[in-house]
Structures are given as structure tokens and as C-alpha cells.
Structure 1
Amino acid sequence: MTIASLNKTIAEVTERIIMRSEKSRSAYLKLMQSQTPDKSARSRLTDGNLAHAAAACPIHDKTAMLGADWPNIGIVTAYNDMLSAHQPYEKYPDIIRSAARQVGATAQVAGGVPAMCDGVTQGQDGMELSLFSRDTIAMSSAVALSHSTFDAALYLGICDKIVPGLMIAAIRFGWLPGIFIPAGPMPSGLPNPEKQRIRQQYAAGEVGRDALLKAESESYHSAGTCTFYGTANSNQMMMEMMGLHLPGAAFIPPNTDLRTSLTQAATQQVVSLTHMKGEDAYTPIYKVVDERSIVNSIVGLMATGGSTNNALHIPAIARAAGILVDWSDFQDIADVTPLLCRIYPNGPSDVNHFHAAGGMGFVIQELLAGGLVHNDVTTVAGEGGLERYAEEPTMEGETLTWKQAPDVSLEEDILRSVDNPIAKDGGLKLIDSPIGRGMIKISAVKDENRKVSAPAAVFSSQQDVKTAFNNGKLDRDVVIVVRFQGPRANGMPELHGLSPILGLLQDKGFKVALITDGRMSGASGKFPAVIHMGPEALAGGPIASIQDGDLITLDANAGELIVEPEEFINRPRAARNDDPGIGLGREMFSVFRKSAEEAEKGGGIFGLMDI
């Protein structure tokens, strides 16, 4: 395969991230190197400590842990059987333990982490815990790994906040080798455009709840990850781009021989990366996650038209490693990265169709050929750099092996080459405006809908928007402004419940757009939505000075947002009328809300941490 020299802009962005992060990255690496092991982790434990750690193990594993110098793998699992994506993880620990024994290692479930389903909490009060669940997962993982009896770790997680939370912890325990193990997407169900059509019909009162429930159940119908290209599947793309999966593991279906073989292989591979296999073999996470791999993840996001939520998660992940990225980096990368994929919501096809057309192996092969990613990175796959991820796994009889990904797309309506892209630049756009800085996903928005000029209608909750819609007050050209939805206000819940309303208004021929300091779902994109606007209203951001009737002009292609009259900026900031923040456990997260950072820094509570 062809690997071109690195694109000038990608090189420049990488270099400025390195320069910007010099002090914090140096401190992080110093911390990691101070933890570099010279013998098994459990050798640091007292006899009493070790006896507790091995007490419940089968006799063979107990003997190995108490005596032989076998590596011990800690499993951090986000298993629950409420999330379809995570239900297959129920049986993974037994698969991992068995595979570990075959290569002279032991494995233990170090701990479980919470894993909420945004599909269940969407539009409900529980969604206010969603973003902060990422930081809770990071802390829960830290508790699991704090037993300090592990020589490597395996991370079982897929969905929206779960992979980023696990990543933050993996980076903070970066002296441990680690591999992320996915479970794969569910089979394709009701086509996504049909599901969206029925949602809009329900919002318009044209069909009843029985038709809506039937459509939703036909869409989400089996074990496995939801098949649209939202945050969960964007996370899986990101793990491939950063070299933290085995190559091509992201979109292999659950409960197949290939999926089981990949889980076994990941277990045995992480054993081979431990310091106990020699200094040359030792490959800790802190050597995998660096400025180059972070840039690769952003390139992947742009090339595939991935989730806007990753514009929050990538900065948070990077900061855990002492790396400072901002949305200007995202924009400059987007400007030179062509959009190669059309996966719902950017098109009708789902991730199963994408995988069949060539999948991540083809995407990475094309990005390398275009000089758009760093090949000279460390990955969990061993030697070969990112080029290894231009391969895809397959079974030859009962043997797992890898072959080169297809060199041509098998379906150009879904997947294209860098020489014949779907669009010349990436799917996300930075909006830097008098209101503040925000992001917009334009890859799924038709060109004729990307420019809107209309009066503002200002709300402080998505329920207020729905009420206005039901009362017929939004049947016009309108820019809907929903504020007090940022991390400090209420945990920055997704406002995906507004998608059918705005989509319906747009289909009626009205010019519509959304501006908010909150989030939209990673599967959103039919209409223009400027999201993650910061500073948020509760922190005194100018979005709190917009009033009903102000003329707002959005040009998504140009990245421009104008509010008239210009003097709006001098108005007093509106105050929030109420702050429930109580009930369904929300009061337990008030400390998170008080300390949350702005969206561009990840919207979390950790910042750069004390490193």
C-alpha cells in the first residue's frame, strides 16, 4: 500500500499541540516513568494484601498468583444487560481468563463501572447525569485499578461516555499496557431514515404511540451496538485510529467465532506487552497515547463524519495525558481532511453496511495514502505503526489472521477514496462568533439548509420548546436558542428530543436552526445546530443576552454566526428562573456542576489534574 508524506497542515497542527503542551506533557511523562515497574505488581503487596487478592481465585490461578511470576491482567468492565451494546460482555471475563491461562497469565475482574444508556435517558431527567457519568467512570476505573496488583489491563466498554471515561483512567494508569475490547454492532434493523420519518410523524400527531414504539423496537432489536454512526460507533473508530484495539476489531458482530477469537487474541496480546516479557516488549498506554495519536483520532472523526460528542471527549482524553487541544485544531484538521463516509445520519446506510464496504481498514489505508495521519505511532498491535490498522481480521478455519483491507470501496455510496471524496473537508465546523465558540456538524445537513437568517425564539429548556411547538408558535422561519444547558447549569444533557420537531419544521419549508450551550445527540445533523456554545449562559456567556426577535444569521459553510442588533452583547445577562437539580440522584452531582470546565476543555471536572 502507498503511504504518502505527512500533509503540511497536519504536521503543523501536531507541532503546535506539542509546543502548547510541553510543560504539562513533560510532567505527565515524568509521573508515568516514575511508576515504570521492574517486577510483577503483586510483588509490592504484603502477604496479607496478596492473600486477599487471590482468595477467591480457582486453585490454579491462586497458585500462579501466590507463587509463579505470571502477569496478572485487570479487567475493567462496563457490563450490564440494559445496554444492548454491553450485554455481550457478560461472558467476556471467562473467555479472557481462559485465554490468559494459555499464555501463562491470570486475569481478574478488577471492577465494574456504571454504563448508562443515552437511548433510555434521552429527554428524561436522568440525561443530566450523562456527561458526568464519563468522569464517574474514570474515577470508578481508578478505584478498580488502585488495588495495584495488575501488570496490564483490558477495558470493556463501547458507548457514549463509557469509552472516554475508561480512556481517562487508562491514561492516568498509563504505565500499564492496555487494550480496549469492543463487542460489535447489532444486526441491521429498520432503516434509519424510516425511523426518523416515523418520529417526525409522531411529533406532528400523524401517527400514534403504537406506531412509534413499533418503529423504535424494530430499530433497536438485539444485542450489540446501535447501528447508526453516533457516539458509540465514533468511539470505536477512535480506538482504531489511536491504535488501542486489535486491528479491525471495531465492527465485527457479537456472538461470532471471529469476535470471540479477537477477544482471546487481545488478551494474549496484552500479556505480550507487559514488562515481564522484556524491556523491548513493554508497551504501556502512555507510549501509545501521544500528540500524534490524538491528531489521528481527530482526522478519523472528520473523515468519517463522526459524533459531535467527540469534540468534547477528545479534549478531555488529551488533557488526561497532559496534551492540550482546542477546537481551532479541530477546524484546521477538518479543512484538509476529506469526508470519506456516508453513514447515518450522513446517509441512509448503517455501520454494518460501512464495514461491508471496506470499513475502518479502507478508511485508514486511504488516510495513509493521502498523508493525512501519522503512521509512525506506537500501537497495541506491535510493530508496523498505524499501517497495521489498514488490515482486517478474518478466520482461516479455526485460526485468526489478518489480511489487507480492500484497495477499492465496495460501495461508493457509503465509502470513498481520498481522490474521490464525498466532500472536500471534514464533517465538523467551528463557529467562532460574538456569542462564543461552538461546533456544528454539517456533514448531514444539505447545502441548501446550511444558511439561515431568522428571528430568535429563546428558551431555557427543551420542554419549553416542545410546548411552543405544540401550541403552533414555531411554524415559521426561526432560530431556536436553548440556553442554561451547559455543564455547570445542568450537566449538559443531549437535546436530541428536539430533532423530530426541527426536522419537521424544516421539511415544511421553513428555515430553521438551533443554537445552544448544550449538546445534541451524536446521531443528529439533519438541520443546522450550533452546539457546545461557550461560555455557557450560567457562566455569563453572551448567549444569555439574546432575546426573542433578535435577527440571527448562520452561515455554516463559512463558520459565521451574527446577531443583530450588535448591541445585544451589552445587555444584562438573563438569569435562570429555576434550578431544580434535585431528584433522580441529580443532587449528588452538584459538586460536578460547580467545578465543570467549559465545553472546549471537555466539560469535565478534572482539567489538567495535578501532574
Structure 2
Amino acid sequence: MPDLNAVVEQVTDRIRERSQGSRGDYLRRLDAAAAEGPVRSSLSCTNLAHAFAAAPDGDKAALKGLQRPNVGIVSAYNDMLSAHQPLERFPALLKQAVREAGGTAQFAGGVPAMCDGVTQGQPGMELSLFSRDVIAMATGVALSHNTFDAGLCLGVCDKIVPGLLIGALHFGQLPFVFVPAGPMPSGMPNDEKARIRGLFAEGKVGREALLESESQSYHGPGTCTFYGTANSNQMLMEVMGLHLPGAAFVNPNTPLRDALTISAGHRVVEIMAHGDAYTPVGRVISEQAIVNGIVGLLATGGSTNHTIHLIAIARAAGIHLTWDDLHALSAVVPLLTRIYPNGKADVNHFHAAGGMGLLVRELLDAGLLHEDVMTVAGGGLRAYTQEPVLAEGGVQWQDAPDRSADPDVLRPVAEPFDVDGGLRVLDGNLGRAVVKVSAVKPEHRVVEAPARVFENQQAVLAAFRADELTGDFVCVVRGQGPRANGMPELHKLTPELGVLQSRGQKVALVTDGRMSGASGKVPAAIHLTPEWVAGGGIGRIRDGDIIRLDTETGELNAQVPESEWFAREIASPDTEPQHGMGREMFAHFRATASGAETGAVTFPGQEMSP
């Protein structure tokens, strides 16, 4: 086993020391729940009869006998989301697989699954971030009958996988296997799609051309193929040991995908408490696993949304993670992939070039990942250097390729695309923010320019259409944090700001909102905290203030004399209540949400100071 990188070891030790009390409490609760076991055997006859009343006769007999383990399936299936539509077929496959392995399985419940791609720039996007906590709670409700010995979680996209995992961690004594659906086949090349989006933003092509381009890009069942939050989720579930090895990026509705789904049903029975391979999810998600997830995210240039979600996931397991941990790891983790928006290739190209197996082996051999961790596959993380292939009777695993089939997409640690992971924490009189520079050219990584202040992205787009965004400027969009309006992504700004940058203007974005898992070539200081409605410095910015955003030094400052800066009143945000698209129902989420740096969590007892 290679020596562990010193910084990886130091960061892990700091997290472990910082989390000692909360993690210890979590594990004691886990052990107590494991000792009690599911109460199925002690349910009253009435309770038990309700639990299996609708089961097929064979399953009913097994459940009545109380001798065979029972698995709860929780799914984010709906047929509007291309990523989740393939999940319709999975419960039947999984139930039969569990029967073959000696157990029973029941569909425990469904969780909501909204699509950020549909709601970008729309009022519904204000529910997006909080849907993560709704999904976590719905997972808890699905499992609350206390009749299950393990779980299978079916989900793919942005807030859905983090929500499922947070919910599962509240049942940390149970084993869980996460079962993905896979990406759709490749469509229109990503650089062509981006070109047409830019032309539309400039008014040079019409809506018909744009819609045709988007339809060719998003054209069938499966996950969108760019490397945004959905595919970053799949990478994380694999490198943190919750998928079967190599499951992340196999296309849906293929024999290999079905075989992997069946194997997940077999494996979840093998890792239950009744056997020697007991693998509770609360021990899979350890301090080492969280660090492994961060390293994977950095090495692949993954979604900035995980600077929020990983913190929330860690907290659900009693682990106290901070942005400073991500920043420190970014300095030593090389960028090994170029996947759109950080390159031209999509996740299918990455998978074909060597995929997760090659990536994990490179990082393990460089001492950048913890190898000795608990995973659902068993055998530590080294098992994830293998990839699945069809074999007689199902799936077998073989070593991933020794070398990348396409060094323009995936490279070894010795020849990285960049020497660091491209994630920075910025600090200054505006507060703290994160920025991802893996797709930002070096000449654009420092911007010092006058502020243009807006209170929503629609106002920015209107100014763009009116040709008012001339010269160098820093686009400040405030009032977009969790407590203000649920922290919607501001992805609608990407094409317009990119057009201005392409014209030769120095442009940057500063916001207390989110950008996107698909943030790209324009430097964007996002997740600024404290947010405006919490008294953050972003409320002191005035049009014309010189803002310096320096991703090299980590500076994010308004160049205003200190005496003047702190004498300014913080501008009063628009506090009109949000109505329509269900937003009024989420008022209590907005009122209780913690800041971005602490995971934007809404559960009591989950808040931990940074």
C-alpha cells in the first residue's frame, strides 16, 4: 500500500479530531440501533400483517416466518427526468435478485426528484436546494416502518443522491447499496452546444435553432452527459464505496446495466448484519471516505454544489467538514480529467478512456486516497480499480486498463492537466466564497473591476439585452442565499457572461447564490457567506466599487477604505414573501437554513460552526 500523501493525512486527522465528539455520539447511536435490530420480530400481529399484506405469496410466507432478511427499496423514479426514467424497471429486477440471494425486498417509498435543467431561471428553482432535505426526510419516512434489514437507494441527479444519502445515514446501522441508472448515449458535441447557446444569447440564432441543439444534446433516457452535479454524484458514490465498482457510467437499458442492477440486489443481502460482511452505511461514510470523496471531486473538476452537499452529508454522519479542508486538499490533488464544461468530452468518453477504475488506481497509487476503508464491495477501495464486464450468469470484474485510451480526457497523476484541483476558498471584506478555476484560463483568474450590482439574474439578462454591460466589470448578484430565496442556481448567466468575456472584457461574478455544477470559463465567486439577508458584506457593495477577485492569492475584497466600508449601512434586501410554484410552503426552510459553508442544512441539531 503506497504511503499516504502528507496533506491528505493531515486533513483527515484534523477532521477526525474536530469531529471526535459528534462522530462518537453518532457511532454510539448506530451501535445501539444495530443491537436492537429491526423490530419486525416484535411487532404485534396487526402491525406485522399490515407490513406484508400486499406481498406476493412466496414473499409473504418468508416475511411471516421472520427468518429471511428484508430489503427496503427507496427510489427517485419519475418519467419526466431522463436520468430517472430508467429506474422504472429496477424494483422488479432488484426484488427478484434479493429473492435469489435468500431475502425479500419491498418498495419502501418514493422520493421527489426535480430537474434543475428544467427549472433553471424559473421560480421552481427556488425549491431545488431545499429538495435535498425533503428527499432526506422522505427517505426517513419510507424507512420508518422499521421492518427492513438493509436498503437500496435508486437515484442520480443533483440534490437527489445527497438527500438519499443523508436520509440513509439517519439509519446508519443498516447497509445500503446505491444503484445508478447511467448516462444517456452521447449526442451533439458539447462545444457545438455551447457555441449555439452563445449565438442565441447574442440574438444571432433563434429559439428554433436553440431548441433543436438542446434536443440533440438531451435526447434519450439517462443522465445528461456533461460533468455537472448529477455525474459528480455518481463519481462520489463510487469513490466513497457505495456503488458496486464501475457502476457509475454504464448506459441505461443495456445488458450490462441490468446485470449490475441485479448484482446490487445480490450484494445487499450479503452485507447485512446476519453475515460476516456486515457493512452499515454509517461506517462506510467515515472521515476517510469523506476525504476520498473530496479527492475524487477535485481530481475530476467536479461540481461546486458539492462544497455544500459534502458538508451536509458529513454532518449527517457526525463528521465536521469545512471549506478549508477542501481548499487544503485542492493544493495537492492534480486535475486528471477534462470533461465538459472543463473540456470537450463527456462522461461517456471518460468512461471509454478508462473511467473510474483507472482514475481510482492512479489516485491510490499516488497515495491520494485512503485504501483501507469499508465499502459495499468489500476489500477496501482497491476493489474499485476494477471494471465490470458481462459474463456467464451476470457480471464479473476485471482490472481497469493500465493506460488511458484518450489522454485528452483522462491522464495519469504523472502527467496531469493541472497540478492542483482548481478549487479555491476566497476571503476578504465581502466574506468567504468558493471558486472553481479548472475551466478558467490563467489570464482570467484575476479580475479587478467596477461592480455592477443586481438583485436577481433576470436583471442581469435585461441589462445584457440592452447592451448596458460594457467595459470590464464584476457582476454582483445578491439576495440569492439559502435564507433569501432558497439559493437557486444562476446558470442562466453562463452564456451571457461568457459572450462578454469572449469580446475581450474582463468579467467575473460574485454572488451569495449558487452557480452550477456546470460553471465554466468565467471566474465566479459563489456561495458567498454570510449571505445578504444574514448581514453579509455583499450588502455593502455599491455600483462602481472596485472589486478584486484574485483566485491566486485567495482575495475577495471591495477596494473601499475600511472606515467607509464599515460605516455603510447594509442595503435592505427585498423581503417580499415568495409565492407560486409552492414556494410559500418552504418559508420555514428559508427561516431555519444554515449558511452555505455549513451545508445549508435545515434540520435541528445539524448546525456546526465553520
Which bin holds the TM-score, normalised by the shorter protein?
over 0.9
Q: Which residue of 258, 275, 285 maps to 1:260? A: 258
Q: How does 1:9-20 map to 2 (within 5 A)?
A: 9-20=7-18
Q: How does 1:253-292 map to 2 (within 5 A)?
A: 253-277=251-275, 280-292=276-288
Q: How does 1:84-483 map to 2 (within 5 A)?
A: 84-277=82-275, 280-382=276-378, 384-483=379-478
For 1:336-363, what per-residue CA distance to the aligned partner results, in whole angstroms no more than 9, with x for missing partners?
A: 0000000000000000000000111111
User: Within 1, Cα distance between the matches of 2:529 and 2:428?
Assistant: 10
- CA deviation after TM superposition for structure 1 residue 607, in Å: 5.9
Unmatched 5+ stretches in structure 1: none
The secondary structure found in structure 2 opposite 1:214 is helix
User: Within 2, Cα distance between the matches of 1:166 and 1:154?
Assistant: 10
User: Within 2, Cα distance between the matches of 1:40 and 1:440?
Assistant: 44
Say whether the 8 Å CA contact 1:306–1:427 is kept in structure 2.
no
Which residue of structure 2 lines up, in the alignment, with residue 591 of structure 1? 588
AA in 1 matched with 2:283: K
- CA deviation after TM superposition for structure 1 residue 44, in Å: 2.8
- CA deviation after TM superposition for structure 1 residue 451, in Å: 1.4
Identity across matched positions, percent: 58
User: Within 2, Cα distance between the matches of 1:537 and 1:610?
Assistant: 19
AA in 1 matched with 2:42: R
Q: Which residue of 552, 555, 579 maps to 1:557? A: 552
Q: Classify 1:338/1:183 alpha carbon distance in 2 versus 1 (closer, same or farther; 3 Å).
A: same
Which residue of structure 2 lines up, in the alignment, with residue 45 of structure 1? 43
- CA deviation after TM superposition for structure 1 residue 68, in Å: 4.7
- CA deviation after TM superposition for structure 1 residue 397, in Å: 4.1
For 1:148-198, what per-residue CA distance to the aligned partner results, in whole angstroms no more than 9, with x for missing partners?
A: 000000000110000000010111101111000001000000111111111
AA in 2 matched with 1:301: L
Using the TM superposition, name which of 390-399 and 371-380 deviates more.
Answer: 390-399
Q: How does 1:533-544 map to 2 (within 5 A)?
A: 533-544=528-539
User: Within 2, Cα distance between the matches of 1:398 and 1:64?
Assistant: 25
Which residue of structure 1 lines up, in the alignment, with residue 28 of structure 2? 30
Which residue of structure 1 lines up, in the alignment, with residue 597 of structure 2? 600
Say whether the 8 Å CA contact 1:41–1:151 is kept in structure 2.
no
User: Within 1, Cα distance between the matches of 2:546 and 2:38?
Assistant: 65
With the length of structure 1 as denominator, give the TM-score of the two structures: 0.98
- CA deviation after TM superposition for structure 1 residue 577, in Å: 3.0
User: Within 2, Cα distance between the matches of 1:188 and 1:560?
Assistant: 39
Aligned residues: 606
For 1:378-437, what per-residue CA distance to the aligned partner results, in whole angstroms no more than 9, with x for missing partners?
A: 00002x210000110111244310011111111100011111110000021111221111
User: Within 1, Cα distance between the matches of 2:477 and 2:419?
Assistant: 31
AA in 2 matched with 1:127: M
Structure 1 residue 571 and structure 2 residue 568: aligned? Answer: yes
With the length of structure 2 as denominator, give the TM-score of the two structures: 0.98
User: Within 2, Cα distance between the matches of 1:593 and 1:316?
Assistant: 16
User: Within 2, Cα distance between the matches of 1:610 and 1:127?
Assistant: 24
- CA deviation after TM superposition for structure 1 residue 553, in Å: 1.6
The root-mean-square deviation of aligned C-alpha atoms, in Å, is 1.3
Say whether the 8 Å CA contact 2:284–2:374 is kept in structure 1.
yes
AA in 2 matched with 1:104: G
User: Within 2, Cα distance between the matches of 1:46 and 1:571?
Assistant: 65
Q: Which residue of 486, 490, 493 maps to 2:485? A: 490
- CA deviation after TM superposition for structure 1 residue 41, in Å: 4.3
For 1:208-248, what per-residue CA distance to the aligned partner results, in whole angstroms no more than 9, with x for missing partners?
A: 10001001111100000000000000000000111000011
For 1:484-518, what per-residue CA distance to the aligned partner results, in whole angstroms no more than 9, with x for missing partners?
A: 10000000000000011100100111000000000
Q: Which residue of 497, 515, 518 maps to 1:520? A: 515
User: Within 2, Cα distance between the matches of 1:541 and 1:151?
Assistant: 46
Unmatched 5+ stretches in structure 2: none
User: Within 2, Cα distance between the matches of 1:434 and 1:610?
Assistant: 24
Say whether the 8 Å CA contact 2:40–2:66 is kept in structure 1.
no
Say whether the 8 Å CA contact 1:518–1:533 is kept in structure 2.
yes
User: Within 1, Cα distance between the matches of 2:593 and 2:38?
Assistant: 37
- CA deviation after TM superposition for structure 1 residue 576, in Å: 1.2
For 1:505-542, what per-residue CA distance to the aligned partner results, in whole angstroms no more than 9, with x for missing partners?
A: 00111000000000011011111000000000000000
The secondary structure found in structure 2 opposite 1:336 is coil
Say whether the 8 Å CA contact 2:601–2:607 is kept in structure 1.
no
